[in-house]
């Protein structure tokens, strides 16, 4: 693919990379490291071919990872904007929040920090009461508390989600496979992508081409903003919405 006016808004985990036990094809290529520097996530040959197809496009991650976890992604490389923590932060190439985004975030945080603490407390109580094998913690990104993450077996996550959803009606409940995230309204991938698209249009001397890649149902709103969207085989989107 040629031309520098193509921008790829890419979800990462389970779209462009995944843990070894989710890979259906060999050989595998290292894509991300764990905190100790050991390879944790991988590309399949098909994902490598897809990245090669878009080698001249500007890749912009739209990920649930915070910046610390994004820095452990060794492939593909990123040199432009970064959207982290399910859209809670919009960062420039210098990995600092864009000025207007930081101002809006700092306005919202006082309204939601207490609610995040409360819902995390409820999650821990329900996990203990039900004897669930789940791990729950508030994720911080650049020092901002941005969402509640719960990890564990899918059926147990579903039970906990049923307990928590009635207490989180003004936020977003994201669940896919072994992950559950309770997101404040400011953690919104579509809003973040729209913000970055506006910045690109303002700076771009020619009409940009926007392409999206995502696997989760909660990726659909940002994918709809793109001129074209790609969905991985066996993804949540494919299995839940395609006949």
pTM: 0.94
Assess whether pLDDT exceeds 90 at residue 243. no
Dist CA 1 CA 16 (whole Å): 18
pLDDT band at 23 (very low <50, low <70, confident <90, very high): confident
Collapse the DSSP code of 167 into the 3-class scheme (helix H, G, I; strand E, B; otherwise coil) and give the result: helix
Beta-carbon-side half-sphere exposure of residue 169 (alpha carbons within 13 Å): 2
* Residues of each domain in the chain carrying CATH 3.30.70: 99-183
Mean pLDDT, the chain, whole residue set: 94
Tell whether the model's pLDDT for residue 3 goes beyond 70: no
The answer for residues whose C-beta is within 8 angstroms of residue 221's C-beta and 6 or more apart is: 188, 189, 190
- Domain 99-183 CATH class label: alpha beta
Q: For residue range 170-227, what is the model confidence (pLDDT) as tens digits?
A: 999 999 989 999 999 999 999 999 999 999 999 987 789 999 999 999 999 999 999 9
Sheet holding 39-43, edge to edge: 18-19, 39-43, 29-33
Sign of CA dihedral 98, 56, 66, 155: positive
As a CATH number, domain 6-98+188-241 is 3.40.50.1000
- Residue 135 phi/psi, 5-degree rounding, is -120, 125
Q: Where in the chain is the domain with CATH 3.40.50.1000?
A: 6-98+188-241
For 126-171, the pLDDT digits (tens) are 999 999 999 999 999 999 999 999 999 999 999 999 999 999 999 9
What is the radius of gyration, based on Cα positions, of the chain? 18
Distance CA 2, CA 110 (A): 45
Q: Are 181 and 150 in contact (CB under 8 A)?
A: yes
Task: Please tell me the distance from the alpha carbon of residue 121 to that of residue 143, in angstroms, as a whole number.
Answer: 20
- Give me the mean pLDDT over the 75-83 stretch: 97
């Amino acid at each position: 693919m040629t031309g520098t006016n193509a921008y790829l808004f890419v979800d990462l985990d389970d779209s462009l990379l995944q843990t070894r036990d989710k890979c259906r094809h060999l050989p595998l290529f290292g894509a991300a490291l764990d905190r100790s520097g050991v390879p944790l996530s991988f590309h399949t040959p098909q994902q490598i071919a897809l990245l090669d197809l878009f080698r001249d496009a500007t890749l912009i991650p739209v990920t649930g990872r915070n910046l610390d976890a994004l820095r452990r992604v060794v492939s593909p490389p990123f040199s432009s904007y970064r959207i982290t923590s399910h859209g809670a932060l919009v960062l420039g190439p210098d990995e600092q929040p864009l000025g207007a985004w930081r101002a809006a975030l700092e306005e919202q945080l006082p309204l939601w920090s207490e609610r995040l603490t409360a819902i995390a407390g409820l999650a821990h109580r329900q996990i203990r009461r039900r004897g669930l094998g789940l791990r729950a913690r508030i994720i911080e990104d650049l020092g901002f508390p941005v969402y509640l993450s719960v990890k564990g077996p899918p059926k147990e996550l579903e039970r906990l989600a049923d307990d928590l959803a009635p207490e989180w009606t003004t936020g977003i409940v994201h669940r896919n496979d072994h992950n559950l995230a309770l997101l404040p309204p400011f953690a919104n991938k579509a809003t973040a992508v729209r913000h970055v698209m506006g910045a690109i249009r303002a700076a771009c001397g020619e009409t940009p081409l926007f392409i999206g890649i995502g696997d989760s149902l909660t990726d659909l709103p940002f994918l709809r903003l793109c001129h074209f969207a790609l969905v991985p085989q066996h993804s949540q989107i494919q299995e839940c919405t395609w006949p």
